[in-house]
Amino acid sequence: MTLPRDASDRLAAAKLWLVTSDAAAGTGDMPYLSTAVYAMQPVATRDVVGMAVDSRWRLYVDVEWLMAAEVPDIGRELAHLALHLLHDHAARADDVGVTRRTASAWATGADATVAELLADAAGRPPASGGHPLALAVELGLVPGRSAEEHFAALSGLPARPLLGEGDQEPDADGEGRDSSCGSGCDGLARPYELVDDGGGIDEHGARSIRERVAIEYRQRWPSPGSMPGEWDRWVARILEPVVDWRSVLHAAVRRGIGWASGQTDYTYSRPSRRQSAVPDVVLPALRRPVPRVAVVVDTSGSVDDGLLAQALGEVDGVLASLAVGAGQVTVLAVDAAVQAVSTVRRAADVRLGGGGGTDMALGIRAALATKPRPDTVVLLTDGETGWPQQPTPVPLIAVVLGRPWEPDLPPTPDWAVRVECRPE
């Protein structure tokens, strides 16, 4: 349902307030958000508290709230919801498996990142439209972390049911209405949202909007490092996308395994397929050995367990896809000494020990000394370690673990295949 004329005018006034830079008039001073806020398509409804958005950039508006709220409050709420869409919180929620039981924890974490973005830009807005925003530090969370990391810390909290599930949350009139930010935040459809019939903004259009906003934001702060931190990282992700570390890791391991798989040798343990051509001579057959892999895991105290677990999972995936089976993977847990050596079906099955200092050169030497010698060595480390002085006789894939906000990870030898693992 379209907005009445007077409601449309008030929404337009709020958008204008938000994107206008006029210190004397106390406007929102966020002109870079204009493409995003004008792309949101308003829909009148009584099923939300204030405003909400869906993943197709439709803006659901309670007209009564809109007419009663102050224009600056409407503008701040538009900025809040636009940032959920710009940061693609709906798709990211799906990636981490957010459900109706955990949607409240995800929304709280995502709102904390939005609050930091707004605080960086023009001061954190007050609660408006039923969507109070709290900074991460006010929630007992670590500032500067992603929505995914906040969600992991908060997901033990009791979840608030969404509209249509369990008891509905009453508004001041006692009617059941949705007080969340909508599926544009958590990716979970609400009963009042329009059926996805091709309307709204599709993913291609959303990508174009994000790129335009990033360009306009960078134009405001053209000097490197002049943008507030979280904005700077977001703009870089949009305008300077990097190749997914998972793809780089898979390609590197495949190359290393392929190098070993491509080697052949002669064997007399089975007859040659050409034996019938010369029956009086015993011909050897060609043998292609099954590649063996050693995974050296840095278990020193400085290594992030979450990053380590994710990287081990990815190593498992690529080894499984290359049919490197049971008994072919040796995992060494190493800090300042070799703590454990295991031959396992999967890299993630190993029991990790350690937690002290770091000497990966020792771990690499230990991996090469195992019998039979591995054809490829995969090292997972934070990079704060020494390295062998000479190239290894087999491919060494150095997976350096780091966070997205860390500008430069420690160096690795030129002869090693470097993969920077930076999960968001």
Residues 55-104 have pLDDT tens digits of 999 999 999 999 999 999 999 999 999 999 999 999 999 988 899 989 99
pLDDT mean across residues, the chain: 78
pLDDT at 386 over 60: yes
| Residues 230 and 325 placed together within one structural domain of the fold | no
Percent of the chain predicted with pLDDT > 70: 67
The residue ranking higher by pLDDT, 257 or 413, is 413
Q: Does 234 share its domain with 255?
A: no
pLDDT in tens, 307-352: 677 667 777 776 776 666 555 778 887 776 676 666 655 555 555 5
Is the pLDDT at 125 greater than 80? The verdict is no
Residue 274 binned pLDDT confidence (cut-offs 50, 70, 90): low
Residue 118 has pLDDT above 90, yes or no: no
* Residues 205 and 277 both lie in one domain: no
Kindly state whether residues 51 and 95 are assigned to the same domain: yes
Higher-pLDDT residue of 276 and 42 is 42
Partners of residue 265 on adjacent β-strands:
287
Closest CA to 370 of 389, 396, 342: 342
pLDDT band at 109 (very low <50, low <70, confident <90, very high): very high
- Of the ranges 11-20, 190-199, 280-289, which is most confident? 11-20
The reply to whether 129 and 83 lie within a common domain is yes
Is the pLDDT at 305 greater than 80? The verdict is no
Residues 160 and 273 in one domain: no
> Which of residues 200, 223, 239 is at a domain's end?
239
The answer to whether residues 357 and 398 belong to one domain is yes
Instruction: Give me the number of domains the chain comprises.
Output: 2
Tell me the whole-structure pTM to 2 decimals.
0.58
Q: What is the pLDDT of residue 89?
A: 94
Question: 293-298 and 329-334: which strand pairing?
Answer: parallel
* pLDDT at position 401: 82
Residues 135 and 274 in one domain: no
Task: Report pLDDT for 161.
Answer: 45
Say yes or no: 183 and 271 in one domain: no
Domain that holds residue 38: 5-239
pLDDT tier for residue 172 given thresholds of 50, 70 and 90: very low
Q: What is the pLDDT, as a whole number, of residue 124?
A: 47
Domain boundary, last residue among 206, 239, 272: 239
Q: What is the largest CA-CA distance in the chain?
A: 101
Reply yes or no on whether the pLDDT at 166 is more than 60. Answer: no
- In a shared domain, residues 229 and 291: no
Percent of the chain at pLDDT above 90?
A: 26
- Whether residues 258 and 154 fall in one domain: no
Domain boundary at 209, 239, 269, which? 239
pLDDT value for 229: 59
Which residue has better confidence, 120 or 414? 414
For residues 274 and 415, membership in a common domain is answered with yes
The pLDDT score that the predictor gives to residue 225 is: 56
CATH number at residue 334: 3.40.50
